[in-house]
Amino acid sequence: MNLAELLDALPKSPESEPPKQPSAPPRLLVQHAVVQDGVVSFTDQSHRTPQKVAVQPINVELHNITTLPERRGPYVISATLTGGGVVSWDGQVSLVPVASTGRFDLRGFPLATAWRFVQDDVAIAEPKGALDANVRYQFAYRNGATSLTVQGLEVALKGLVLTERASNAPLLALDEVGVVGVYGDVAARQLTVPEIAVKRGLVAATLARDGTVNWQRLATTSGSPMVAATTPASIRARHRW
């Protein structure tokens, strides 16, 4: 990562110096900070097909950023993804102690954007469908212990369609998938999913002469050829609900 190279280039303290004892952070108060029309870009060159995605515009508005004990400020962050979709966060953060409560919201995120970064590793054509999600959380770090709970997580996936790249044969089609009311507690290792709903779905599987199912061939390795379509003597099965 290029950011790691920047960190390595920063001046470092001599190894002979004894470690400093932790101290209270300096007193700091920023009453209002605004970032408008920012841009963050990410490029992945680790696969055969380099991919680049940008997030813009990024709008950030912060109030009462402070290191004063037990003081929290309300913050709002929103960003539009170039491939489609909007992500936003609003909540509160305190630095002493380290804690945060808030809500994340993602709207209209196309699955094709994520697929672009793994397309060399899967034998799946560009998928259709968009994802909406939102969740409330509580996070704290105190005396070396971390606590994180999430509640009210809702996920909605609409118009999902997956097809094989080699044969363009349908694999999975779902009009809508919904997950509602998820609660999780990391410290207690607890996860509760009260409701999962799937509407108007179709799953298609093909059994070849060698006994393999087409779903087994979806993962590929870089540089390996795609598996050809199955012969007419294969067995095909579909299930719709």
pLDDT tens column, 182-235: 999 998 999 999 999 999 989 988 888 888 888 888 887 544 444 444 444 444
User: Looking at the domain assignment, is residue 89 inside a domain?
Assistant: yes
Q: Residue 67: what residue type?
A: T
User: Looking at the domain assignment, is residue 11 inside a domain?
Assistant: no
User: Looking at the domain assignment, is residue 189 inside a domain?
Assistant: yes
> Quick one: average pLDDT of 97-109?
91
Contacts of 184 (CB under 8 A, 6+ apart): 149, 150, 151, 153, 190, 191, 192
Count of structural domains, the chain: 1
32-56 pLDDT tens trace: 778 888 888 888 888 777 888 777 7
User: Looking at the domain assignment, is residue 16 inside a domain?
Assistant: no
23 burial via Cβ count (<10 Å: 0-12, 13-18, 19+): exposed
pLDDT score, position 138? 95
User: Looking at the domain assignment, is residue 62 inside a domain?
Assistant: no
Q: Which domain holds residue 151?
A: 82-240
Largest separation between any pair of C-alpha atoms in the chain: 75
Rounded CA-CA distance 79/90 in Å is 12
DSSP string, 56-76: EEEEEEEEEEE-STT--EEEE
